[in-house]
Structure 1
Amino acid sequence: MNNILFFFSCLCAFFGVAVLFLTGILNAVMPMVGKAVFQAAMSGSYSPDDYVMDVTFINSSAVFLIGAGGYSAYLIYKKGMLEK
């Protein structure tokens, strides 16, 4: 049972890292996509700040997932070492 819990704890931490990675990529790419769309439409004025997303809550949730997953994996690992 501990192996399954350890796997899901590590998976939780990995999911948090993946979310941080994806939000970083999206914040870097979206202003470029916005500029391309603006140039295709030729309307209004372009500002890169209009295309930067606020992902503060998502990033803080991902950091919480990394911390909780890492801590629970550590506890499960230590408990498994004590049982042997």
Structure 2
Amino acid sequence: MNKILFFFCNLIAVIGVSILFTTSILNKVMPMLGFAAYQAAAAGGYSPSDYVMNFIVINLFAILLIIIGVVAGYKIYKKGL
């Protein structure tokens, strides 16, 4: 049973890392897509800051998932020894 719990704790940490990775990619890619849309439409003004999204709450949740996963996994690992 401890192996299953250890696996899921590590899975939670990996999900947190993947959320951080995804949000950072979105913040890098969206200004480029906005610039391409601006060039295609040729209307209005372009500012890269208009396309940067606010992921503070999502990133905090991801960091919390990583911390919980690592701490719980460590406790389960130590308990199994």
Are 1:57 and 2:53 an aligned pair? no
Unaligned segments of structure 2, at least 5 residues: none
Query: TM-score, normalised on structure 2?
Result: 0.98
Identity %: 57
Matching of residue 21 in structure 1 with residue 21 in structure 2: yes
SS in 1 for 2:44: coil
- Residues 36-64 of structure 1, C-alpha deviation per residue, up to 9 Å, x if partnerless? 00110111100100000000000000000
Are residue 3 (structure 1) and residue 38 (structure 2) matched?
Answer: no
In 2, Cα distance between equivalents of 1:42 and 1:50: 16
- 1:68 is displaced (CA, Å) by 0.1
- Stretches (4+) displaced over 6 A: none
Q: Can you list the C-alpha shifts for 1:18-42, whole angstroms capped at 9, x where unaligned?
A: 1101111110110000000011011
Counting matched residue pairs gives 81
- Provide the aligned C-alpha RMSD in A: 0.4
Matched, 1:48 2:48: yes
TM-score (structure 1 length as normaliser)? 0.95
Tell me the CA shift for residue 5 of structure 1.
Answer: 0.4
Gaps of 5+ in 1: none
